[in-house]
């Protein structure tokens, strides 16, 4: 994928398919430690240990339309190409956790990319009762976005999927991240 944010969008689709009610997305950027870490954790239906062992194999997939499932293997390859690590852990009935780390200044590291667009796309993919908690840290600056907070302000009658709300969210995340990087768009 051209951007790490596209990998994120892709992996979160897995959490949604697993019927998660809470999806935690954590992005940690540290120029000091020269690391970029992405963690996607869900409380979906999880996988048994046998399936978990082979899940990074592109020819192992739960989908029925094709014999190939590339999401996890592409992210794994992206991370390892950048002297990074990839880890996936899961437990049936508990959830799944995916963690990918990249060497920040590696020449082959794709840019993080348009996170605001990815967050908006994720929100439009969520079910009625699925929440997204997004935490992003860049060195010492932090940004948080929590759909539960948004829903609290909107109340029961106004949907988070409404186009004006989604538009607001896009700008809110864009601005929040701009402030993370000290007012410079990454």
Partner 1 sequence: MKSLKELEEIRKNTLENINLRKGREGYRIIVGMATCGIAAGARPVLTTIMEEINKLDLKDVTVAQTGCIGACRLEPMVEVYSPDGNKVTYIKMDAEKAKAMVESHIKNNKVIDEYTMTVIDGKVIDPVTK
Q: Which residues make up the interface to partner 1 (CB under 8 A)?
A: 1, 6, 9-10, 13, 17, 63, 65-66, 69-71, 74, 114, 117-118, 120-121, 124-125, 150, 153-155, 157-158, 161-168, 170-172, 175-176
| 93 within 8 A of 46, measured Cβ to Cβ | yes
Residue 95 C-beta: closest distance to partner 1, Å = 19
Contacts 24+ apart (CB under 8 A), 165-168: 166/120, 166/123, 166/124
Residue 69 C-beta: closest distance to partner 1, Å = 7
d(CA 120, CA 54): 31
Residue closer to partner 1, measured from CB, 90 or 118: 118
Instruction: Using the structure block, give the residue that is written with the tokens 């060195």.
Output: 139
Residue closer to partner 1, measured from CB, 107 or 153: 153
Residue 52 C-beta: closest distance to partner 1, Å = 19
| 72 within 8 A of 11, measured Cβ to Cβ | yes
Residue 30 C-beta: closest distance to partner 1, Å = 26
Residue closer to partner 1, measured from CB, 35 or 151: 151
Residue 39 C-beta: closest distance to partner 1, Å = 19
- Two tokens at 27? 């992005």
Beta strands, E only, 53-186: 85-91, 95-103, 131-138, 141-146
Helix/strand/coil percent split, the chain, to 5: 35, 25, 40
Residue closer to partner 1, measured from CB, 95 or 113: 113
- Two tokens at 20? 């998660």
Residue closer to partner 1, measured from CB, 21 or 159: 159
């Amino acid at each position: 994928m051209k951007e790490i944010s596209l990998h994120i969008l892709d992996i979160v689709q897995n959490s949604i398919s697993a019927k998660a009610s809470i999806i935690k997305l954590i992005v940690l950027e540290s120029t000091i430690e020269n690391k970029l870490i992405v963690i996607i954790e869900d409380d979906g239906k999880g996988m048994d240990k046998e399936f978990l062992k082979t899940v990074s194999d592109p020819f192992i997939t739960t989908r029925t339309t094709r014999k190939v499932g590339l999401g996890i293997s592409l992210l794994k390859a992206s991370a390892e190409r950048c002297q990074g690590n990839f880890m996936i852990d899961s437990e049936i009935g508990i959830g799944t956790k995916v963690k990918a780390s990249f060497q920040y200044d590696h020449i082959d590291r794709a840019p993080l990319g348009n996170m605001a667009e990815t967050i908006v796309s994720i929100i439009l993919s969520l079910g009625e009762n699925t929440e997204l908690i997004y935490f992003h840290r860049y060195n010492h600056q932090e940004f948080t976005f929590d759909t539960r907070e948004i829903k609290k302000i909107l109340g029961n009658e106004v949907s988070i999927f409404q186009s004006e709300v989604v538009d607001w969210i896009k700008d809110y995340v864009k601005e929040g991240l701009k402030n993370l990087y000290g007012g410079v768009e990454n």
